[in-house]
Amino acid sequence: MPTPLPGDADSDVMDKEEPSLKSTTMRAGAWSMGGFAVGNVLRLASNIILAWLLVDDIGALGLMALVNTFLQGLRMFSDVGLNFGVIQHKRGGERVFVDTAWSLQVIRGIVLWMACWAFAVPFARFYGEPILATLIPLTGLMTVMNGFGSPGLLLARRNMDLKKLTFVELGSQIAGLVVMLTWAFNSPSVWALVAGNLTGSAFRLVSSHIVFREYRARFGWNKAAASALLRFGGWIFVATTLTFASTQIDKLAFGKVFDVWSLGIFAVAATFSMVPTQAVLRLGNQVVFPAYAKVVNRGDDLSRVLDRVRLPILTGTGLAASGLYATGPWLVGLLYLPQFQAAGWMLRLLAVGMLARVLSETSKAALLAIGHSREVALGQAMKIVGFTIAAPIGYHLGGMVGFVAAIPIAEACRYLSISLLATWRGLRVLPGDLETCWLTVLGGVLGLGAGDAVAGAMGAGKPATLVAFVAAGLVSALPWIPHLRRSVREFRRDTRSG
């Protein structure tokens, strides 16, 4: 049993007995990606249905995007640093440590809800949308519900026990989507989105305490545990604050510079470009970072496993970026009405930014595992600075196209900062990143050429769009075949030895 924290009178351990790290990581990765795949199929399908329902009022989608941006901020602020602290600390599985983390989580959720009331009116006035003054305090209830979620959610991530966690998350998503789509079908409005999100959070709160009933929630406080959490989470708090600003600054600025109609179209493109990023974020938070932390806590050399863990992530990301860049306009043409055509060229630019962001995330997980959360915060700050400089210049030179192009430029600023800091800390990430970028460019250009050639030969119409989409996607994947084979060989070897 681990040595108790100083001042701890109740040091019972809540960690489960561990099988081999390799088998645990593979099992966790399978559950994480399985849940992600199902969740995103549901999310994308609902996004397309909403776009068709609101085709006569695309501005409503823009207003929904503003609400969703605010909701995303609440979700990020309601879980700042505590999950990472429980995962990273050697004593993170002790009862007193978990009780302290859970108590901090509850307090944060209540404080954030109070902040919603304070900022609702200024936010509504800034965008000239009075309805936001009502929507914000109502949606702010999500922070309270997320704060009171079971402590088992914290420990499931630490132990990479993602089966139950996946069921809770998928169940809450399905419950929210059912309410949202039913409401939107009968009365399309932003209230459908609000009702869906509140339903999902309520379901998550209740189901987490049922599914993780062995981890009884209780308030507790230990000075040493709180100090360890806040010391590690201090820079995580700064990084998460900056993360919200850096990941949502495009939508916030877009909604102010352009109209909500254009923002609704931009939100369609952003939905597709975010899927690969969300996959890596999910893997990073639920699998890669906990695995790295276990390696570090055991005293092993992280650099020995870094390349092998990153290989399938970089391969999948590069393949997705190549495909989205090559197929963007035809993908939008197949799934959406002509009013959304501009989302096609937006998707191409956002695919470039998606690649840079994912490369940053793979280095971020390694930096956090070795305890360097400050570098993560600095990387987010660099992205904000990059966007603040590039967006006005881009808008002046190229209007909306130049403004959207500022997003991948800002992501590149963040990537350069984090990758250089990771290299300085002895993490060898640049060679794999450079190879990924080169293959992505090659695949994207080849796929784009193939799609244009097919579209030029066949002319307009849905059949030509479908064939161009397939041709562009297949050709863009050709440069990645050797890496895909290598990833499959590595997976089979790990399966046999795990």
Q: What is the pLDDT of residues 382-412, one digit of tens each?
A: 888 899 899 999 999 989 999 999 999 999 9
- Token pair listed for 190: 């932003």
Min mean pLDDT across 51-65, 137-151, 202-216, 454-468 is at 51-65
Average pLDDT of span 21-29: 54
Min mean pLDDT across 19-23, 349-353, 448-452 is at 19-23
Report the distance separating Cα 57 and Cα 47, nearest Å. 15
Report the distance separating Cα 224 and Cα 247, nearest Å. 33
Res 375 pLDDT > 50: yes
- Token pair listed for 407: 């997003």
pLDDT at 180: 84
DSSP three-state, residue 342: coil
What's the half-sphere exposure (Cβ side, CA atoms, 13 Å) at 124? 15
pLDDT higher at 194 or 439: 439
Nearest-5° angle of CA 219, CA 223, CA 227? 110
pLDDT at 177: 87
Q: Where are the alpha helices (DSSP H) in 284-372?
A: 289-297, 303-335, 343-369
pLDDT higher at 414 or 374: 414
Burial group, residue 178, by CB count within 10 angstroms (0-12, 13-18, 19+): middle
Banded pLDDT at 447 (limits 50, 70, 90)? very high
Report the distance separating Cα 444 and Cα 348, nearest Å. 9
Average pLDDT of span 23-35: 57
Determine what percent of the chain is predicted with pLDDT higher than 90: 12
Report the distance separating Cα 233 and Cα 342, nearest Å. 41
Min mean pLDDT across 209-223, 324-338, 452-466 is at 209-223
Q: Are 105 and 79 spatial neighbours (Cβ–Cβ below 8 Å)?
A: yes
Average pLDDT of span 291-299: 69
- Token pair listed for 389: 């400089």
Average pLDDT of span 161-173: 81
Q: 84-135, pLDDT tens digit by residue?
A: 556 655 665 567 777 787 888 888 888 888 888 888 888 888 888 888 888 8
Q: 172-192, pLDDT tens digit by residue?
A: 989 998 898 888 888 777 788
pLDDT higher at 254 or 16: 254
Report the distance separating Cα 476 and Cα 447, nearest Å. 4
Burial group, residue 57, by CB count within 10 angstroms (0-12, 13-18, 19+): middle
What's the half-sphere exposure (Cβ side, CA atoms, 13 Å) at 186? 7
Domain spans of the chain, in order of start: 18-247, 258-492
Which of 240, 324, 308 lies closest to 274, judged by CA? 324
With tokens 């990020």, the residue in question is 76
pLDDT at 368: 72
Q: Computed over its alpha carbons, how large is the radius of gyration of the chain?
A: 23
Banded pLDDT at 55 (limits 50, 70, 90)? low
Banded pLDDT at 363 (limits 50, 70, 90)? confident
pLDDT at 5: 45
Which of 226, 394, 371 lies closest to 292, judged by CA? 371
Banded pLDDT at 10 (limits 50, 70, 90)? very low
Q: Are 318 and 480 spatial neighbours (Cβ–Cβ below 8 Å)?
A: yes
Banded pLDDT at 7 (limits 50, 70, 90)? very low
Query: Residue type at 398?
Result: G
Q: Are 257 and 399 spatial neighbours (Cβ–Cβ below 8 Å)?
A: no
pLDDT at 443: 92
Q: Are 44 and 275 spatial neighbours (Cβ–Cβ below 8 Å)?
A: yes
| Residue 237, CA distances (Å) to 7, 72, 242 in order | 26, 15, 8
Which of 140, 133, 210 lies closest to 168, judged by CA? 210
Res 234 pLDDT > 60: no
Res 301 pLDDT > 90: no
Average pLDDT of span 212-218: 76
- In this structure, what is the dihedral angle of CA atoms 302, 303, 308, 309, given to the nearest 10 degrees? 40
Min mean pLDDT across 57-61, 145-149, 358-362 is at 57-61
The residues near 377 (Cβ < 8 Å, ≥ 6 apart) are 235, 236, 238, 239, 242
pLDDT at 11: 47
Report the distance separating Cα 428 and Cα 307, nearest Å. 8
Average pLDDT of span 206-221: 81
pLDDT at 288: 67
Nearest-5° angle of CA 235, CA 198, CA 84? 20
Task: Name the phi and psi angles at 301, rounded to 5.
Answer: -85, 115
Task: Name the phi and psi angles at 13, rounded to 5.
Answer: -100, 135
Report the distance separating Cα 263 and Cα 372, nearest Å. 36
Query: Residue type at 127?
Result: Y
What angle, rounded to 10 degrees, do the helices at 95-127 and 132-139 form? 170
C-beta atoms surrounding 344 within 10 Å: 19
Report the distance separating Cα 463 and Cα 53, nearest Å. 24
pLDDT at 3: 40
Banded pLDDT at 17 (limits 50, 70, 90)? very low
The residues near 131 (Cβ < 8 Å, ≥ 6 apart) are 63, 124, 190
Res 303 pLDDT > 60: yes
Which of 59, 120, 29 lies closest to 258, judged by CA? 59
Min mean pLDDT across 240-244, 389-393, 419-423 is at 240-244
Banded pLDDT at 475 (limits 50, 70, 90)? very high
Which of 160, 163, 149 lies closest to 101, judged by CA? 149
Res 47 pLDDT > 80: no
Report the distance separating Cα 217 and Cα 234, nearest Å. 24
Banded pLDDT at 216 (limits 50, 70, 90)? confident
Report the distance separating Cα 57 and Cα 492, nearest Å. 50
- Token pair listed for 207: 């189901």
Determine what percent of the chain is predicted with pLDDT higher than 70: 71
- Average pLDDT in the chain: 77
pLDDT at 378: 80
Min mean pLDDT across 2-6, 215-219, 293-297, 479-483 is at 2-6
